[in-house]
Amino acid sequence: MQLQLDRESTIPLVEQLVQAITLWLEARRVRSGARMPSIRQVARAHAISVSTVVEAYARLVARGALEPRHGSGFFVSPSAAADHAVVQAQPADERWAQFEAAPGQLRLGCGWVPDDWRDDEAVAHAIRRVTREEPASLFSYNAPLGLVTLRQQVQRRLAAVHVQAGLEQILTTQGASHGLDLIVRTLLSPGDTVIVEDPGYYNLFNLLALHRIRVLPVPRLRDGPDAAAVEALLREHRPRLMFINSMYHNPTGTSLAPSVAHRLLKLAEQHGFQLVEDDIYADFQNGPSTRLAALDGLERVLYLASFSKTLSCSLRVGYLAGPAPLVQRLGEVAMCTGLGSQRFAESVVADLLASGAYRRSVSRLRQRLAGRMADTLLMLAEHGWDVFTAPEGGMFVWARFPGAAYADYTAVAGKLGIVLSSGNGFRPNGEATAWLRLNVAYSADPRARAFLAHVAKRPRAQP
């Protein structure tokens, strides 16, 4: 049993060993009841410690891939032989599969960076400092528009990307999803019409459906939404809003071109609707960018972003910027529905921004993502996959294998312990698609390369 282990990888050797053995069982189609090499044999053959192998075998037993027999060693489990080694139960709703993934599964389709990429020491230090120096943040309600010190930091950050906003134009939120909910609650009523991108953010589609809002999809192209399609819809409908990702679009990874941005702003002025610019991946920016809010001066654009993708999914802190009267209305809705945002979490984020820890952490994240993006695009090309575009940054690639269907992806992914995000979840009306969102932050895992290779080799059903 020859296994590939990388001692320079950030993935612990124990987990690498678990993954490698899983792939070996799959590739060899080892029969049920077959005896595994002893712990000492594996340790000696791969120059690793006995304790590492003991832990790896224990995890494989816990997953149902192996079973121990006292005095005899380890054997392939009868209930989980070869092609069933690490198949996990699927959640009832595939849109939430990434949130329900079992420990050890590879979240290749998720929307966040791995936990071990986060600066946990900086966050822990900020939490201790806030707890020690700002005890009121532990017990008191927040101001209606959010913590003033955080809004001041946000104001400076917006100015750095040429978005000028007064403090009265900034509202802090409990993440970007909370910001979207406030916008929908405040500006829309059941039966209203909005324009959305296709593909686009699945949780926005869920939110709009919850509020019984009618959606008009426009194709997302390589330079942004199809402006001609937007104009055609405007001739027949009177949408209240248009929702758009300007930069590192979820899920395609594309960014907005200046010419498209100017045309959208002109259409918004001519037809009297507002643009909601979701810039949640702004801090992953590697080069020049086009933001609607910078071009428009926050007149017809509502801008929202978040720190959750870069700092912590558990620190639900985001912000909105827009015309002052509208921001005041949004703040009133936030108070009515949840008594505003979380003061303690905002104090922690404000501390990280003020100390420079956030800037250093994000810089490291950008570098790591850039490396993984290049590696992932190379792997996809090597195995014959199509990509919608080669993103300039961010964490997503929108890819498909020619002739494959989503069932082909899940058949391979389930055997490798990989959890995917269904491509049809990113379609406004759930239409079927062979495109798949891949998160490049997880692509160094051996299972990711095996997935791309195995899909390419999988026989296709005859039409």
Q: Among 58-72, 364-378, 402-416, 437-451, which is the least confidently predicted range? A: 58-72
Given pLDDT bands bounded at 50, 70 and 90, which one contains residue 77? confident
Tens digit of each residue's pLDDT (9 = 90 or more) over 156-214 = 999 999 999 999 999 999 999 999 999 999 999 999 999 999 999 999 999 999 999 99
Tens digit of each residue's pLDDT (9 = 90 or more) over 330-340 = 999 999 998 88
Which range, 115-119, 150-154, 278-282, has the best average confidence (pLDDT)?
A: 150-154
Total domains in the chain come to 3
Return the CATH number at 287: 3.40.640.10
Residue 298 and residue 376 in one domain: no
Residue 284 and residue 379 in one domain: no
pLDDT score, position 87 = 42
Residue 99 and residue 142 in one domain: no
pLDDT score, position 95 = 64
Average pLDDT rounded to a whole number, residues 139-163 = 94
313 has pLDDT over 90 = no
pLDDT score, position 70 = 84
Return the CATH number at 52: 1.10.10.10
Residue 354 and residue 364 in one domain: no
Average pLDDT rounded to a whole number, residues 259-284 = 95
Given pLDDT bands bounded at 50, 70 and 90, which one contains residue 462? very low
Residue 353 and residue 364 in one domain: no
State the residue range of the domain holding 430: 87-111+359-463
Q: What number of CA atoms fall less than 13 Å from residue 81's CA on the CB side?
A: 9
Which range, 25-34, 305-314, 372-381, has the best average confidence (pLDDT)?
A: 372-381
Residues 6+ apart with CB under 8 A from 132: none
Residue 210 and residue 289 in one domain: yes
